[in-house]
Amino acid sequence: MTDPYATAAASAEALAQLTGYPAHDAAVVLGSGWRPAADALGRADAEVATADLGGFPETSVPGHSPVVRSVAVGPQRVLVFLGRTHLYEGHPVRDVVHGVRTAVAAGARVVVLTNASGGIRSGLQPGQPVLISDQLNLTGMSPLTGPPPPGAYPSRFTDLSDLYAARLRVLARAADPGLAEGVYAALPGPHYETPAEIRILRGSGADLVGMSTALEAIATRHLGAEVLGISLVTNIAAGLSDQPLDHADVLATGQAAATRMGELLAQILPGIG
């Protein structure tokens, strides 16, 4: 089996060659329908198809583009992934987290993970951004299973006590004091949850539910980078409203709010230090 860390390092090297920038300070992974947020971050100095970097599988999900941009946001050189890979596409975990491993190998010390989510906590509304304060990884998987990482990498027994960095959440609230916070529950998908499952999640402390992010957060933290998570509520979770759940509605809500989300990120990223 190919070493996934070596594969990420090779992708980072290809990224440096194709963008013309030897290193990047941070990375942003955009969720479903968030593409307009990339434009709000600023003009791309370089844009590369992920297929040209190696290790990235072809995406099959509407609202996700197989492209990464290099953008200057204030003093920071930022990688912006216009889509991600999901477990439910049939890919192994190593492919799901390849993007964030590549970003860290390219120099990113902060990775911003965004997503579309169902709102579980009472009061959360479609179109509302929520800072992720913690997560429930209910995928039944981890990016750290299998052979131990090569000697140059940290132990796979990673401390996740500060998985979503408190320091970065303070910066985000300074940019938008009205931001709510919540716990994100990640399930494999692609089907939506049943009302009974939502009742269990609510009883377990989940405020949001989705089909991504958790594995990327673990892989990022394992490599020593900080994680900031921002979830956009695109629907009310199953059984909590009379509205049927439809991916087209998720995309539409994401697209409607994406420019605002990009403007929020443009305020946060220059100060990540």
Share of the chain above pLDDT 90, in %: 78
Reported as type and span, the H/E element at residue 26 is: strand 26-29
Torsion angle, alpha carbons of 181, 96, 160, 76, to 10 = -70
CATH number, domain at 110? Answer: 3.40.50.1580
Which residues constitute the domain of residue 37? 4-271
How high is the pLDDT of residue 256?
76
How would DSSP label each residue in 110-145?
EEEEEEEEEE-STT--TT-EEEEEEEEE-SS--TT-
Residue 15 corresponds to which amino acid? L
Q: What is the pLDDT along the chain (273 residues), one digit of tens a residue?
A: 689 999 999 999 999 999 999 999 999 999 877 778 888 899 999 999 999 999 998 876 665 688 999 999 999 999 999 989 999 999 999 999 999 999 999 999 999 999 999 999 999 999 999 999 999 999 999 999 999 999 889 999 999 999 999 999 999 999 999 999 999 999 999 999 999 999 999 999 999 999 999 999 999 999 999 999 999 999 999 888 777 777 777 777 777 777 888 999 999 999 997
CA angle 246/41/111 to nearest 5° reads 75
Dihedral over Cα of 160, 155, 9, 225: its sign: positive
For the chain, the domain total comes to 1
CA angle 248/246/65 to nearest 5° reads 40
The pTM of this model reads 0.95
